[in-house]
Amino acid sequence: MKFFSKLLLVVTLAAMSASPLFAWDETGHKISAYIAWERMTPAVRERVIKILREAPEDSHLSALYASYGSQSMDTRKREFFMAASTWADMVRDRDFANRFRKYHKGNWHYDDTFWTLRDGKIIDLPRPDDGGQALARINEYASMIRGNATDEQKAVAIAWLEHLIGDIHQPLHTSARVTEREPKGDQGGNTFLLTPEGTARDNQINLHWFWDSIVGRNAPNSRNEGDTTYIAPIARTMMSEYPYSRMQGRLNLADSAVWAKESLTLAQTDVFSADLVRFQLPSSKYRKNAYRVARQRLAMAGYRMGDLFNQAFSTP
């Protein structure tokens, strides 16, 4: 049974890894956006939706709003807000060349600290000229939505904030571990393979992808349900497991560097734990703890996102 369980995991991971996934995958980002929406006041929700619908035409952001269908207006608005959290990954599509050139920013999705282990101790290392710009962009756009920018500009800022706040809560989006094998860093776990050495590239599974896609593996959308039916119950369960009242004292809304530091610490302790072995699939104990960490981080990202928008758009 143990053999067949491990075989099933290999097959499942390999099948899912055929699809390109970035940061938290679509499911993860939408969960944090749903939680943020639940935190936002009705007036702030309306203001944010109004701004998002003013996005530049060439961004295709406002096109995510469903202007027809059987859903209630409230559901359409919430799903539009959730979809906007994935826009920063949508613009990676090179088939839309103009949009790609203008809006895709690959090094905005992470903010790495370079580190290594020496004699069992974590040692921070010098950072290269560009180890990612997620924190700088979060700070820039958090300031922009409070200022005198146009609604077009604020729409793009909101979409980036939705996405980057999610990204920075994924532990491997703050970490570049340096080893003898990876003297220039492991690219957030992308070079740390969980499949046997020599596995064909198309069948390889790396540590970064393992964490990005963690929700979909543990709570798969096997019925191909819509966002409200699929995402909402998962998000509400996370909110129940990690209630706002318990997390409120650690939000640190004015200091996104604290958010990144939390993620880095988790990367150094829970991601690269002692039982993680290169070229081997993680144990059931590791997988269980990883999903626990992911649930807590997604909830925290949602609470911070919602409160940030409340602060920016609430009428005094």
Q: Tens digit of pLDDT for each residue in 217-253?
A: 999 999 999 999 999 999 999 999 999 999 999 999 9
Q: How many residues does the chain have?
A: 316
Written out in words, the top-level CATH class of the domain with range 2-313 is: mainly alpha
- Predicted TM-score of the model (pTM): 0.92
Judge contact between 299 and 239, C-beta under 8 A.
yes
Checking if the pLDDT of 3 tops 50, the result is no
For 229, counting Cβ atoms within 10 Å of its Cβ (0-12 exposed, 13-18 middle, 19+ buried), the class is exposed
Q: Where are the domains of the chain?
A: 2-313
pLDDT in tens, 276-294: 999 999 999 999 999 999 9
Checking if the pLDDT of 14 tops 70, the result is no
Judge contact between 134 and 168, C-beta under 8 A.
yes
CB atoms within 10 A of CB 283: 14
pLDDT in tens, 171-188: 999 999 999 999 999 999
Query: What is the C-alpha separation between 224 and 215, in angstroms, rounded?
Result: 15
pLDDT at 146: 97
Burial string for 176-205 (b: 16+ CB within 10 Å, else e) reads bbbeeebeebbbbbebbbbbeeeeeeeeeb
pLDDT at 9: 43
pLDDT at 316: 63
Query: What is the C-alpha separation between 215 and 218, in angstroms, rounded?
Result: 5
